[in-house]
Amino acid sequence: MPNFNITDIRAQFPILSREVNGKPLAYLDNAASAQKPVAVMDAMRRQMETSFANVHRGLHTMANETTESFEAARAKAANFLGAASADNIVFTKGATEALNLTAYGLAPHIEAGDEIIISQMEHHSNIVPWHFLRERQGAVIRFAPVTELGELDLDAFKSMLSAKTKVVSLVHMSNVLGTINPIAQIAPWVKAAGAWFIVDGTQYAVHRPVNVTALGVDAYCMTGHKLYGPTGIGALFGTDEILQAMQPFNGGGEMIEDVFEDRVTYNDPPHKFEAGTPPILQAIGLGAAIDWIRQFDFDDVHQHEMALYHAALDGLRDVNGFRLYGEAKDKGAVLSFGLEGAHPHDIAQILDKYGIAVRAGQHCTQPLMTRLGVHSTARASFGIYNTMDDVDRLVEGVKRAALFLS
């Protein structure tokens, strides 16, 4: 039993009481995007109802009040990630933009032949921005292998590090395998090689406590919409050093210090990376989501979600042709699976008939699918508001899908 009242939590998510195809909703697609509690909606609505103006400009009361709320959200993100200062947090529109900004920002420091090491379990948003550097700078991308259990092959990874390595960018928790990579263990190896260490914390930050300072990383990204917050907002943590080294991507208002006809000088980070009007309301919503999740103990949340995961796995193991993807020792509550002879899309469509939402496809991880030797998988991913009833219905639904599809 979780140390929190699940009924009380569910009551804070109005959407969870709706029906889908005449059945109560069992929402098990949290790794793609999570539902939002009333507290988040209220915070955004309250701002619009009581005080709204553009931030950082204007000397009137509402401009100052809105700036205060916006900057308070930045401080919450900094605190949530264990950053030394709010100045180390850049707001982006999500994790994808945070990773693109980082890769683009480091381009002036990358030369032909320089190596960028990522892994076979990366999300496309932590692969494609590095392909851009490969295409434009002549950088070389090397993929650290993933083992049969779905873990990063640490020995192989370590042997790939060299003086040529300029960047290492790894996912903290895989959105497909659930694998949690030992970032704190890896960081000293990357630093010893003299490379930047970037971590995609999009999934991990939803389920486990993060402290970027203790992890020893140079940059770390998270996203609002998977953390029970709004879409259109993410946060990039960067050390003073990396944020100074990075070139800005967007040019415009707010990001400059001085603009002349023949040159421009930039504002200090984080503002250097936030040209134009930022996603003000979304940032305030992210701040509210952080406040909301922090009322719970992450260990309790993790225990609850893993109990659901293990119950689901126990129920599914006996289903004819069931195959689990991702058996890492350290993993989060993501259950990727297939049924022999059945297309994952068909499984998801049958589950949807019963009101059960799961994802099927490549999950933006084509190199990982190739490594696993499959075209796609079905994925159930658990969040704080899921229940044993959701699990029972998932297991029942997959059993029916197996009968129907085999």
Ligand X SMILES: *Cc1c(COP(=O)(O)O)cnc(C)c1O
CB of 97 to ligand X, least distance (A): 7
CB of 95 to ligand X, least distance (A): 3
Select 171 or 391, whichever has its Cβ closest to ligand X: 171
Q: How many whole angstroms separate alpha carbon 180 and alpha carbon 206?
A: 13
Q: Are 363 and 203 in contact (CB under 8 A)?
A: no
For the CA atoms of 366, 372, 376, 377, what is the dihedral angle to 10 degrees? Answer: -130
Which residue's beta carbon is nearest to the bound ligand X?
A: 94
Helices and strands (H and E) in the chain: how many: 15, 17
Q: How many whole angstroms separate alpha carbon 402 and alpha carbon 406?
A: 6
Name the residues annotated as catalytic. Answer: 364
Select 47 or 203, whichever has its Cβ closest to ligand X: 203
Please compute Rg for the chain using Cα positions.
22
Among the listed residues 266, 232, 288, 257, the one whose alpha carbon sits nearest the alpha carbon of residue 91: 232
Select 31 or 319, whichever has its Cβ closest to ligand X: 31
Select 301 or 401, whichever has its Cβ closest to ligand X: 301
Tokens of 313: 């796995």
Using DSSP, state whether 224 is helix, strand or coil.
Answer: coil
Tokens of 235: 């946060």
Select 123 or 272, whichever has its Cβ closest to ligand X: 123
CB of 33 to ligand X, least distance (A): 8
Select 6 or 364, whichever has its Cβ closest to ligand X: 364
Sequential DSSP letters for 258-325: EE-SS-EEEPPTTGGG--SS--HHHHHHHHHHHHHHTTS-HHHHHHHHHHHHHHHHHHHTTSTTEEEE
CB of 163 to ligand X, least distance (A): 29
CB of 335 to ligand X, least distance (A): 15
CB of 287 to ligand X, least distance (A): 17
Long-range contact list for 190-196, CB < 8 A, 24+ apart? 190/161, 190/165, 191/216, 192/161, 193/161, 193/162, 193/163, 193/165, 193/168, 194/163, 194/165, 195/117, 195/161, 195/165, 195/166, 195/167, 195/168, 196/106, 196/166, 196/167, 196/168, 196/242
Among the listed residues 218, 222, 257, the one whose alpha carbon sits nearest the alpha carbon of residue 241: 218
Q: How many whole angstroms separate alpha carbon 32 and alpha carbon 19?
A: 20
Using DSSP, state whether 152 is helix, strand or coil.
Answer: strand
Task: Return residues touching ligand X (CB under 6 A).
Answer: 94-96, 123, 125-126, 171, 175, 200, 202-203, 223, 234
Select 95 or 372, whichever has its Cβ closest to ligand X: 95
